[in-house]
Structure 1
Amino acid sequence: MSEITRRKFLPGMAMLPLAGKLLAHADDQPPALRKFAPRLSGREMMRQRYFPNFELITQEGKKVRFYDDLLKDKIVILQMMYADCQGVCPTITANLKRVQKLLKEEITQDVHICSLTTKPEQDTPAKLKEYAKMHGIEDKNWLFLTGDPMEMDRLRHSIGFADPNPEIDKDKLRHSGMIRYGNEPMAIWGTCQGSGKPEWIAQEIGFAIPRNLKRHPKINE
């Protein structure tokens, strides 16, 4: 399967080697518009469009900002889940444990995982902490997050875990099958099936990691 068909992307996002290419069309604007329009980097455009800087709460009760604390300057995996999920959530959580281990062996930079609840009304920090403990997750770079219900729902839609059909969108389990991954500084973002083999998931995420951070540079090339 070709590289372009293997990857799925956040709505409107392209897997680009240089974030600045997002603005390639800007030079087609009339000179009068170019004179007054500020030139934003692809990274900044993505931040403004997709990453609201909402305040969230970790499983330890710590307040953090979605962009400033969880995404900025990081390689990150985003998962939607909820603590009482008996469907795909535990499977994907187990897969991500293996993925995290594989990536630690292959790259020199930390990979951060953010597990965001789709049911903030019931998933308190204590409940998320118990979920993490039940699954043997103690890594400081893996956070389970809750927050204001309205903001959590807006965040879910903003990062692409939503269905255009409102009735389908109400089913929280439907948003738990995919994961998002990204290299925030390079503005590279993609998505893949979270229930796939961990080795395959790790390989997919490898496409967002520059060669100089890989212990084995030929991987994914």
Structure 2
Amino acid sequence: MPSSWKSAVLVLLLIGGLPALAAEPRANTSLDVEVPDVELVDQTGRTVKLWTDLVRGHTVAINFIFTRCKTICSPMTATMARVQKELGTGSNVRFISITLDVANDTPERMAKFAEPFKPGPGWSFLTGEPAKVKQALVALGGYVPDKEAHRPTVLVGNAVSDTWTRVDGLGSPSTLLAAVREAEAASSGPSELEPQEADARAQDAASARYFTNTELVDQHGKTHRFYEDLVRGRKVLINFAFTSCKGACSPITKHLAQVQEKLGGRVGKDITMITLSVDPANDTPKSLGVFTQKMGVKPGWYFLTGARENISLVLKKLGGYVVDPDAHNTTLLIGDAATGMWVKSPAMARVENIVYAVEHLNDPR
């Protein structure tokens, strides 16, 4: 790698941690749970693997519901929503609700059921093929022949320490919160993982805390969780722009379109390109869509906007936040959250240099 790149290492300090919240004590019950890696479908229509995509490396709270339920499902979901809100946007805890009525509960119906509870990022409402849903329910202790007879329990676990317990889903939110906190704490104890795997999980958890799963919206109007959907498990190129810019934004975008061309089919697979709007008040998905069409942007490159507080949070994490959009920086960040290796470059650096930096990012130095 050229020496100029060696001096461009950008250290992103991964700091995190959740505020301590008071909660009433709860008796612990240890369970033996093996989570199957079945493919299910979430409320957005996205196919996810239960273990690989949702549970592995995380603390989780899982309940079992169905959308036509007239009794306990809504109160249980409300309790889960209260706990997720208490944990805050920086939490790495996953919430999972699995249907007991796969014949009726389509992704669209699951999304409609979830809407009144305002679930945050990291909460998946799951349905899918009957056999796969049943396999998940049986493994997690949620299966019942008659859905109307299901119990109001929440399975709380930590996949790192492999500790699991069940909590009354109709109990107070503080009781469930205490169980979640206890499960989180379990991951800091001794681990039987191989050192390399333990390091990888620790890196993933730290990256998730730092980058957050803040929801942003792309040029097509699709909502993404920033870390899990766009950063995790791939190399990323990140820059900052806005559509009404009269200076550097258009030339930079055209230049990076050449980088995308050189990287080829990898963009959208193991490489993601991200442009964050520094003017969310004016940059709507529609205006971003028009801008990207003019610039020749191809799939795998996401132009992101969203609620001001959401986009501002991510911009501040990445050093791209400015009060005046015209004062935004023209830095290009290139990184891999899995390895923790990040470099920065002028966005107008030679195309060949940028491509080289991406392809050799994790080379030994």
* 8 A Cα contact 2:280 2:311, kept in partner: yes
* 8 A Cα contact 1:10 1:191, kept in partner: no
User: For the residues of structure 2 that align with 1:205 and 1:123, how far apart are their CA atoms?
Assistant: 28
In structure 2, the partner of 1:45 is: 206
Q: Compared with structure 1, are the counterparts of its residues 4 and 116 closer, same or farther at alpha carbon in structure 2 (3 Å cutoff)? A: closer
In structure 2, the partner of 1:8 is: 9
* 8 A Cα contact 1:78 1:181, kept in partner: yes
Of 256, 281, 293 in structure 2, the residue corresponding to residue 121 of structure 1 is 281
Q: Secondary structure at the match of 2:320?
A: coil
In structure 2, the partner of 1:159 is: 318
> In the alignment, is residue 144 of structure 1 matched against residue 297 of structure 2?
no
User: For the residues of structure 1 that align with 2:263 and 2:220, how far apart are their CA atoms?
Assistant: 25
TM-score (norm 2): 0.45
Tell me the amino acid that sits aligned with residue 13 of structure 2.
G
Alignment gaps of 5+ in structure 1: 14-34, 163-168, 212-220
Alignment gaps of 5+ in structure 2: 15-185, 190-197
Of 245, 257, 274 in structure 2, the residue corresponding to residue 97 of structure 1 is 257
Shift of 1:104: 2.6
Tell me the amino acid that sits aligned with residue 291 of structure 2.
Y
Of 350, 353, 364 in structure 2, the residue corresponding to residue 197 of structure 1 is 350
* 8 A Cα contact 2:235 2:358, kept in partner: no
User: For the residues of structure 2 that align with 1:7 and 1:197, how far apart are their CA atoms?
Assistant: 15
Q: Where does 1:153-192 land on structure 2 (aligned, <5 Å)?
A: 153-162=312-321, 169-192=322-345
User: Aligned residues: percent identity?
Assistant: 24
Count of residue correspondences = 183
Q: Compared with structure 1, are the counterparts of its residues 6 and 91 closer, same or farther at alpha carbon in structure 2 (3 Å cutoff)? A: farther
Deviation string 1:190-221 (CA, Å, 9 cap, x unpaired) is 2111022111222222332569xxxxxxxxx9
Runs of 4+ in 1 over 6 A off after TM superposition: none
* 8 A Cα contact 2:5 2:357, kept in partner: no
> In the alignment, is residue 208 of structure 1 matched against residue 358 of structure 2?
no
User: For the residues of structure 2 that align with 1:90 and 1:209, how far apart are their CA atoms?
Assistant: 30
* 8 A Cα contact 2:241 2:249, kept in partner: yes
* Relative contact order higher in (CA < 8 Å, ≥ 6 apart): 1
Shift of 1:123: 0.5
Tell me the amino acid that sits aligned with residue 190 of structure 1.
V
Greater displacement, 125-134 / 81-90 = 81-90
Deviation string 1:126-159 (CA, Å, 9 cap, x unpaired) is 000000011122x220111110112211110112
Shift of 1:3: 6.0
Q: Compared with structure 1, are the counterparts of its residues 105 and 37 closer, same or farther at alpha carbon in structure 2 (3 Å cutoff)? A: closer
> In the alignment, is residue 74 of structure 1 matched against residue 248 of structure 2?
no
Tell me the amino acid that sits aligned with residue 2 of structure 1.
S
Deviation string 1:97-148 (CA, Å, 9 cap, x unpaired) is 11122223899x64211111011110110000000011122x2201111101
Structure 1 vs Structure 2 CA RMSD: 2.9
Answer with 1 or 2: which has the greater Rg. 2
Q: Compared with structure 1, are the counterparts of its residues 188 and 5 closer, same or farther at alpha carbon in structure 2 (3 Å cutoff)? A: closer
In structure 2, the partner of 1:25 is: none
TM-score (norm 1): 0.72
User: For the residues of structure 2 that align with 1:8 and 1:85, how far apart are their CA atoms?
Assistant: 28
Greater displacement, 118-127 / 196-205 = 196-205
Tell me the amino acid that sits aligned with residue 314 of structure 2.
L
Shift of 1:36: 9.0
